[in-house]
Structure 1
Amino acid sequence: MKNSLRYVAIFLLLLCVLRCNDRNERAYVNSSGAVQIDSVRIEHDTMALFSIQAIQTFSTFNSSCEGFYGYDYIYADEFNRDVTSYKFTTEAACGEKKVHFSQINFRPQKRGTYFFKFFNGLNSSGKAIWIEKKITVL
């Protein structure tokens, strides 16, 4: 019983010490939003059913204050996909711009021609610009 109380007391003491750390050791995310996909790399425009192909997207980020957050991968219909990349922005000081690549692993479930549209920013009138690619699945 004494040993059990001793272990509980040590655990509670360590818990209190560790929880009192109020140092800000990392930058917190301030916001997230769509980021322009500068280019897209697809190795093969033809592939076999159920095989996997990497689709790489390239975007430019400020090196210290921005990073890749994720994709919005929308099935517009059976063979059309709209892809938007998102970034996060932190409160850290921004550095120089760097190109970063991210990857989607595409594994088709049906034969046909798939059309991909990748968000490339907005034009002067505020309309979305898209990079269009297609993959034929045999």
Structure 2
Amino acid sequence: MKKFINIGISAVILGFISTSCNDDDDYQTVESIDKVKIDSVKIINDTMDVFTVQSIKTYSAYQSNCEGFYGYDYIHDDNVTRSVTAYKFKTDGACQPSTKTLASQINFSPQQTGTYTFKFWSGGSTWITKTIVVE
């Protein structure tokens, strides 16, 4: 029995030794988060019903394979005005220059009727403005 336990312990130790301690060889660390300008916005319907959902797509250009969409800063300026800023991440991987345009989306689900104004940050003090009428 003692020999059987020693063989089991040896097998477990051998398993730990043969398994790489660094299983995240392909893992890349996010180095920074920064604003990325929104180049264009696609709104399918400029009129919609209250309590329904509409996807609003934004398109931004990324300069390398180490960059990607991180998230939005979605600010309610007032009851019917929204300011949207997109953010990108950059990893510490082996970056290759390659301009690519990626789409991201916001799901808009208004809770009251009105004319909603969306301002999407497109660099500096420039904004792309879109309007959706909610009935």
How far residue 47 of structure 1 moved from its aligned partner, in angstroms, is 0.4
What code does the residue aligned with 1:108 have? Answer: P
Residue 130 of structure 1 corresponds to which residue in structure 2? 127
Quick check: 1:97 aligned with 2:99?
Answer: yes
**Whole-angstrom CA distance in 2 between matches of 1:53 and 1:23:** 38
Tell me the TM-score normalized by structure 1. Answer: 0.81
How far residue 61 of structure 1 moved from its aligned partner, in angstroms, is 0.6
**Whole-angstrom CA distance in 1 between matches of 2:78 and 2:9:** 58
Number of aligned residue pairs: give it: 132
Residue 50 of structure 1 corresponds to which residue in structure 2? 51
Q: Deviations over 1:78-133 (max 9, x none)?
A: 111000000001123133101100011101000001010000001xxxxx211001
Distance 1:77 1:13, change over 3 A: farther
Structure 2: state its 5+ residue gaps: none
Distance 1:23 1:131, change over 3 A: closer
Larger radius of gyration: 2
> How do 1:40-79 and structure 2 match up within 5 A?
40-79=41-80
Deviation beyond 4 Å, 4+ runs, structure 1: 6-19
Identity level (%): 47
Distance 1:40 1:7, change over 3 A: farther
Quick check: 1:32 aligned with 2:29?
Answer: no
Residue 83 of structure 2 corresponds to which residue in structure 1? 82
What code does the residue aligned with 1:101 have? Answer: A
